[in-house]
Amino acid sequence: MINVGKIKQYSNVLERPLSKGKQEVSLSAFAFLFSELVQYNQTQVDNITELERRLEDAGYAVGARILELLCHREKGNRRETRLLGILSFVHSTVWKVLFGKSKVLSLGGVGCMGTSRLRVGSCNVGSLMGKSIELVKILQKRKVSIALGGYLVVEVRSVNDRLMAIKLVVGGLTFNVVNAYAPHAGLDEEVKRHFWEDLDEVADSLEKGTEHEDEYMISEKELLVNRFISIPKDMGAFNCGAFVAGIVRGVLENAGFPAVVTAHFVPVEGQHRPRTTILIKFAEEVLRREATLG
C-alpha cells in the first residue's frame, strides 16, 4: 500500500472526495457482517415474513443511496427514464459494482427498432469471447434485430441439450425465443419423442409467462449474500436474497419505478442448490407512464 501515512484529515464528509469505488474489503468481512445483520434481525421478529421485510428494508437503504452514486459516477449523470433502461442499469451497472459481475451479457446497439420488420437470424459463433464487436458488425450489416444477448435478456431457461428458451425485450415488446436443435433422422425414435414432448412443454410454460407483462426476473445461480448460507429446513422458502431484493427495490423506486421486488429459490434440475430469482413486478403507474412515453 502506498498510503502509509496517517489517515487523511477532512473537517467533514463534504470535503472528502467522492469514492471511486475501487476500494475493497474481503468477502469474509462482508459475509460475517451480513450474517450478523440476519442474526440481529432474527431477534427482532417472530415470523419469517417479518424477517424478510426487515432485510428488504436494510437493502432498500443501500439501494436508494447506490442509485444516486452510480448514476453520477458510472453513468456520467444520465438518469434512466425508461423501464428497460432502469432494468438494464440494475442488472448491469448495479450488479457489477456491488457484486463484481454484470448479470447478463449485453452487446447493446443491436436492437434497432422503429421498423416493423423483424429479422431473426441465427449464426454459429462458437464462443463469444473476443468476438462481440465482430458479431455486432455482421448483425448490423444483415439488419438482424435480435441476437442472443442482444437487447435485454429477461430470462434464459436451458431445458436440455437441445432446447433453450429465452425471453427478450426489444423496444417494449416481449419476445419468447425457443432455440431448438432438432434431432436428425438417424437418431432413435425415443430421442425424437422426448424432444417433441419437451418442446411442447416449453411452449406451454411460455404461454403462462407472457400473462405477466409487468414482471421481470433477474436470475442468479448463487447470490453473493447467499454464498455461505444454508437455510434450515424449518424456515421453508425463506431467502436472505430479500436483502438484494431490497437493494433492487431501493434503486427502482427511487428512480421513479416503484415495484414489488421479491427473492425466490427456484429449483434447478440436476443441481443440489436452487438458484435465486429476483422477481420484479412494476406498479401499474409505471407501465402506464411507459405507454404514454411511447
Partner 1 sequence: MITGPTFTTAEFLLRPSFTALCLLCELLRPVSSANSSRSLLVIELNLGIRKMASTACFMIVSRNDIPIYEAEVGTAPKKEDAAHQHQFILHAALDIVQDLAWTTSAMFLKSIDRFNDLVVSVYVTAGHILNMLYIHTRLMLLHDSRNDDGIKSFFQEVHELYIKILLNPLYLPGSRITSSHFDTKVRALARKYL
Partner 2 sequence: MAAIYSLYVINKSGGLIFCKDYGSAGKMDTNDSLRLASLWHSMHAISQQLSPVNGCAGIELLQADTFDLHCFQSLTGTKFFVVCEPGALHMESLLKYIYELYTDYVLKNPFYEMEMPIRCELFDINLSQAVQKDRVALLGR
Partner 3 sequence: MAPVVPRSGDAIFANVERVNAELFTLTYGAIVRQLLTDLEEVDEVNKQLDQMGYNIGIRLIDEFLAKSNVSRCVDFKETAEVIAKVGLKMFLGITATVTNWDVEGTTCSLILEDNPLVDFVELPDTCQGLYYCNILSGVVRGALEMVSMKTEVTWLRDMLRGDDAFELQLKLLKQVPEEYPYKDDE
293 binds, among partner 2, partner 3, partner 1, none (CB under 5 to 8 A by kind): partner 1
Residue pair 110/147 in contact (Cβ under 8 Å)? The answer is: yes
Q: Does 44 bind partner 2 (CB under 8 A)?
A: no
Please give the angle made by the CA atoms of 274, 276 and 280, to the nearest 5 degrees: 145
CA 44 to chain CA centroid, Å, is 30
* Residue from 168, 255, 261, 279 binding partner 1 (CB under 8 A): 255
Q: Is 259 in the site for partner 1 (CB under 8 A)?
A: no
Separation between Cα atoms, residue 122 and residue 150, nearest integer Å:
12
Contact status, residue 250 vs residue 62, Cβ threshold 8 Å: yes
**Rounded CA gap, 142 and 106, in Å?**
19
Among 12, 44, 115, 116, contact with partner 1 (rule: CB under 8 A): 12
Contact with partner 3 (CB under 8 A) among 54, 91, 103, 249: 54
Q: Which helix (H) or strand (E) holds 217?
A: strand 215-220
Question: Counting contacts by CB under 8 A, is residue 40 touching partner 3?
Answer: yes
Residue 43 CA, distance from chain mean position: 31
Q: Which does 7 bind (CB under 5 to 8 A by kind): partner 2, partner 3, partner 1, none?
A: partner 3
Q: Which of the ranges 37-45, 75-83, 200-208, 250-258 carries the binding residues for partner 2, by CB under 8 A?
A: 37-45
Distance in angstroms (rounded) separating the CA atoms of residues 212 and 201? 19
**β pairing state of 163-170 and 173-180:** antiparallel
Query: Which residue number, 88 or 239, has a Cβ lying nearer to partner 2?
Result: 239
Told to check if 2 binds partner 3 by CB under 8 A, we report no
Tell me which of partner 3, partner 1, partner 2, none is bound by residue 59, counting a contact when its beta carbon lies within the kind-specific cut-off of 5 to 8 angstroms: partner 3
Binding mask 227-266 for partner 3 (x = CB under 8 A): ----------------------------------------
Closest separation between CB of residue 282 and partner 3, Å? 24
* 285 contributes a contact to partner 1 by CB under 8 A: yes
Helix (H) or strand (E) holding 164: strand 163-170
Q: How far is the CB of 228 from partner 1 (least distance, A)?
A: 24
Quick check: 275 and 220 in contact, CB under 8 A?
yes
Of the residues 30, 35, 42, 85, which one makes contact with partner 1 according to CB under 8 A: 85
Which of partner 3, partner 1, partner 2, none is residue 288 near (CB under 5 to 8 Å by kind)?
none
CA distance 189 to 193: 6
Among 62, 97, 98, 231, binds partner 2 (CB under 8 A): 231
Pairing of strands 275-282, 259-266: antiparallel
Is residue 9 at the binding interface for partner 3, with CB under 8 A as the rule?
A: yes
- Tell me phi and psi for residue 192, to 5 degrees: -65, -40
Residues 89-128 that bind partner 3 (CB under 8 A): 97-100
Q: How many angstroms separate the CA atoms of 50 and 42, rounded? A: 9
Here the cell at position 31 is 459475509
Binding residues for partner 1, per CB under 8 A? 11-16, 18, 61, 64-65, 67-72, 75, 77-81, 85, 251, 253-258, 285-286, 289, 293
